[in-house]
Structures are given as structure tokens and as C-alpha cells.
Amino acid sequence: MRHPGEGVQLEPLRMHARALAARLGTAAAAATTVGRERAILRLFGVAGLDGAGHPLAARVVDRFLDGHPERLAGGVALPFGLVMSGSRRTPRDLALEIAAGTVDLGEEAAALADPRLRAAAEAEVQRLARAALDRIDANRTVRRELVDLLGDPGWPWVGVSLRSPAIVDALDEAALALDAGAGLLAVGVPPARELAERAAKRGQEVAGWRADPASRGGLDTPDPEQPPVPTGSQRALAVLRRSMDELAARRRGYARILTDAHPLGAPEQAVVAAFERVDVVVADPIREIASGRVGPDRALADHAFAHRLLARAGARVVIPAGPLVVGPDLATGMPSNGAVRSGRALALQLLAVELALQAGVADASLVAGALPDWITDEPGSPARAVAEVALREALFPGLGLAFVEPAGGGDDSRESLAVEPGLAWCALVAALLPHAAGTQLVLRRAGGPVGLITAQARAAADVAAGLRVALEPGGLTGPAAEHASAVARAASATLELLDRDGWGVLFGTSYLPEAAADGVAVRTDGLGLFAAS
């Protein structure tokens, strides 16, 4: 890609983001959250639902904290480990007893004041943790060996989102996509119950998982006697992983899975990714703060844990191209221009990248979104897009780039490409790909037959590879150079504003009162569980 221009100062921007991330990341690493505690239980083997159909790990944490929010700082691991020590129960059996009310973890927490009992609890927790890490490490080894055995299709990975809500139907969809040349399948994760409950308190509704009227029941094969199973659930992802490995073996090229969770789901998404060999995960705390109305302390602490676990699992982490931030515009009553909106997004993406690096994710495992979602709606979008990509290649030299189509633009009923909502985005990306040598991922998410949209992206990637060797990089000129310079200035101003005045100046203060209920506490359990090796 062309460099953004000699007058564009990026090193001060990078250093400012790094210093800000160091301060925020240190505090996040020292905290725990209700999401992190649920994830720890899932790592211990607490999976599935309780007798009332609620997620079992969440039910255990709710029981533990019920009326006693101060217990969060001590964490659920040690009380759980104390009951497990010397017991013949499995973690799931114990969790079912806690959910039913026959075991009170609060009473067990009080018993930890006895040094002998605490030592027994710590030993049991370390045993459970070691078993979880062994499983994660084994999956990492399996991925490496399968890639060596089957071969890697090489970059960019062309991907498509599976839109079938039930796994039995998604398996058929996956086969069509892989046959059309896809190397990656993206799966949406159902929203957590906590997110739905928070929204309900605000008088809002979170669209939960729903099967289509035509969805078939069953898990790995159709079974009319069984209900449909969500494609993004852990047990369904395990089935999808096995099916994709079999299909990949026949086509002689490893195929990857990408997951993208809703707000408040990052820690549990990381556990599922580590256990079920999910290869790529979208995990951005700033996106949760900006669009998910999650308090900054909660989002940063959740993702600090998730990033450490994903680093251990060897998964790639995608940081999208930054959120659309209009809080300052609403405060002043004056709309910002395109360069300022892009600069804010770039600054927050850079901060998210630095936070992931601090949490232990390696440069080679990070993938940065190349284009803001709204770029095709901007006037002069081609020149702006060239500048956006050039800035990111210059800022993230050790990272891959991802072109991810904005979600929600598709309609199965449309048969003509001339009216396909994603057509402008596809044309823009096809023009950019020959110049963007660092591209690792091209993901289609709009509507249309899965085979067709996969083939479109595959063709664009193949043509770009052929053109790239015939082109020489150069500098930006005209509107592209002007946009790059203005974006860099706006990004620097955004970081200065955030550093000086805090999150409220960017996103407004309407969500800040909720931060106290966000389930965050400074950790006091003294356990350094699941840190990246």
C-alpha cells in the first residue's frame, strides 16, 4: 500500500496510545468481573444448563453473589475448589447442586480463613486450572499439526458468515462455502443472559437467539425429535469444528472458524475458543464501551482476561477499525467532518491494539480492521479508503489487515447483483486489495447465496495476488493525502482528549451511572490463573 505521506506524524500517536494502554491495562489486569468468574467456572468444566434452562456457570455465580456483591473480589474459584477438594463430584455435578441451593458457596468462602482449608482449596484450583491449560495447549498443538498436514491456503483468508441459526442447517451451509473457496467461516455467538437482563432494566430488548421456522432439530445430524441447537453455542461449535476438519482434509487445506460475541461475552467467548479450537476471535473492549453501553472498567477487565486466554490458545484476535464516535458532536451541536470521525475511530482502534499487546497477544496474532464500517457512505470514499488503509499499514507494521464487510446489509430475496447492498463495499475492497499486501482476512457478511458471495471474494483475492507483483508502492496524493493528514491530526487530538478528560467526553455520561452495577472489583484471591505463557 502507498505510504500516507512524509508530513503525517504517526510515531507520537503510537507512543501516546501505548502509554495510555499501559495505565488502563494495568488496572484491568488487577480486576475481576462477573464475566471473568463465569469463564473460570467454564474452564473448570462447568458447562451446559441448569434444571431451569439457565446457563449453569452464570447461575452458580449469581448464587454466590446474591445479596453479597462484596464477594466478587475474592472470586468464586477458591470456594468452589474447597468443596471440590476431597470430593468425588465432577465440577458440573457440584455446580448443579449449587444452582439448586443445596450447597452454599458463601459459607465455604468464610471457611477459607482457616489456612489448612485454604491450602486445600488452592491445590484443587491449581489442579483444575492445569487440566484446563492442558486441554488448551493440546488444541493449539492440534491446530499446528493440522495446518502442517493439510496445508494452509495462504493469505488472505476468504471468509463468509454462516447465517443459519441452527447447527444442522449451518453444517450444510458450511459445506457449500468451503466448496466455493472459503477458508474461514464466521459464527455469531448468542447474547449472554446478563446482557438481556441489563437491557430489560433500561426498558430495552436484546434480540436473543431464535430458530427459523424451517430450522431443523438435532446437533450433528437432523433429528426431528430434538430442538434446534444454536450454531454459536459451545456444543455446536465443537460439531462444526469436526465437520470442517473433515471437509478440509478432503480439499487439502485447513479451514478456520471465527467467532464474534455480544457485549459482556468476551471472557466466555475466549474459553469456548480455547476449548473448541476457534481460530480467530473478534475481541475489542472499546467497541463494547462505545456501542454496547458497557462501563469502561468492566469492558477493559473482561478483555484483559480474554486476551490472555486467547494468547495462550494461539488464536488470532481481530480489532475492528474503530467505532463511530459522535459524543463530542452531540455535546456541541455541531457535526464533525469525515476526517474527524475517521480520526476518532483510528485512535480508539490503536488504543485497543495496544491493550491487546499489553495483555500478551503477539503482534503476529493481531489483525486490524482496515476500513471503518461507514466508509462507503462518505463522499469521495475511494480516496478516503486508500488513506485509511495506508494509515493502518504504517501504524501496524507487524499486524495483518482485515477487510470485514459491515453486517446487516443483506437480503436473501435479492437476486440481482445490481441491487446487492454490499456491492459498493465489494467494489472498493477489490480495488484496494492489490495494494494492501498485509491483508490476512476478507470477510463477506451481507446477504445472498453463500456460494456466490464466497466466490466473489475469492475471485477478488486471486486477482489482487496477481496484480500485486506488477505494482509498485508510492505516496498518497491529492484528496487521499489530505484525508490521511487530517485523520492523523484528529486521532492525536482524540487520545489527548481521552487522556485528559476521560471516557465521558467521547461517549457521553449517560452510561456512566451503570458502571457501578457492571460487576467489577479489584481482585483479592491472589490467584494468577490462566496467564499467557
Write the pLDDT tens digit of every residue in 68-94.
Answer: 999 999 999 999 999 999 888 999 999
Average pLDDT value for the chain? 89
Q: How confident is the model at residue 418 (pLDDT cuts 50, 70, 90)?
A: very low
Beta-carbon-side half-sphere exposure of residue 7 (alpha carbons within 13 Å): 10
| Amino acid letter for position 117 | L
Q: Are residues 108 and 49 in the same domain?
A: yes
161 lies in a domain? Answer: no
110 lies in a domain? Answer: yes
- Single out the residue in 109, 129, 149 at which a domain terminates: 129
Q: Are residues 26 and 36 in the same domain?
A: no
Percent of the chain clearing pLDDT 90 (strictly above): 70
Q: Is the pLDDT of residue 526 over 80?
A: no
Mean pLDDT value across residues 9-38:
95
Q: Are residues 5 and 120 in the same domain?
A: no
254 lies in a domain? Answer: no
162 lies in a domain? Answer: no
- Determine contact, residues 388/343, Cβ cutoff 8 Å: no
Do the strands 520-522 and 31-33 form a parallel or antiparallel pair, or are they unpaired?
Answer: antiparallel
State how far Cα 347 lies from the chain centre: 19
Q: Are residues 373 and 394 in the same domain?
A: yes
pLDDT (tens digit per residue) in 222-274: 999 999 999 999 999 999 999 999 999 998 899 999 999 999 999 999 999 99
Q: Are residues 18 and 125 in the same domain?
A: no
Tell me whether residue 104 is exposed, middle or buried, using C-beta atoms within 10 angstroms of its C-beta: 0 to 12, 13 to 18, 19 or more: middle
Give me the sign of the Cα torsion angle 429, 285, 525, 272.
Answer: negative
- Sort residue 408 into left (φ over 0), alpha (ψ -120 to 50) or beta: left
468 lies in a domain? Answer: no
Peptide bond just before 156 cis, omega within 30 deg:
yes
**242 vs 257: CA distance, rounded Å:** 11
Do the strands 366-369 and 400-404 form a parallel or antiparallel pair, or are they unpaired?
Answer: parallel
Least Cα distance to 507 among 330, 375, 338, 343 occurs for 330
**225 vs 260: CA distance, rounded Å:** 30
> Does residue 379 sit in helix, strand or coil?
coil
Dihedral pair phi/psi, residue 190, rounded to 5°:
-60, 145
**The pLDDT value given to residue 2:** 58
378 lies in a domain? Answer: yes
Can you name the residues that pair with 403 across neighbouring β-strands?
Answer: 442
Q: Is the pLDDT of residue 326 over 90?
A: no
189 lies in a domain? Answer: no
pTM of the entire structure? 0.93
Least Cα distance to 98 among 67, 133, 65, 139 occurs for 65
Q: Are residues 44 and 114 in the same domain?
A: yes
Q: How confident is the model at residue 420 (pLDDT cuts 50, 70, 90)?
A: low
Dihedral pair phi/psi, residue 3, rounded to 5°:
-75, 150
Q: Are residues 347 and 276 in the same domain?
A: yes
Q: Are residues 92 and 9 in the same domain?
A: no
Tell me which residue range forms the domain holding 22: 1-30+261-404+475-514
Virtual CA dihedral for 310, 346, 462, 281, nearest 10 degrees? 20
Least Cα distance to 282 among 231, 245, 321 occurs for 321
Q: Are residues 310 and 371 in the same domain?
A: yes
Q: Are residues 14 and 120 in the same domain?
A: no
**The pLDDT value given to residue 1:** 55
Structurally, the chain folds into a number of domains equal to 2
347 lies in a domain? Answer: yes
Q: Are residues 14 and 79 in the same domain?
A: no
Q: Are residues 69 and 23 in the same domain?
A: no
- Single out the residue in 129, 147, 174 at which a domain terminates: 129
Cell of 176: 457449500
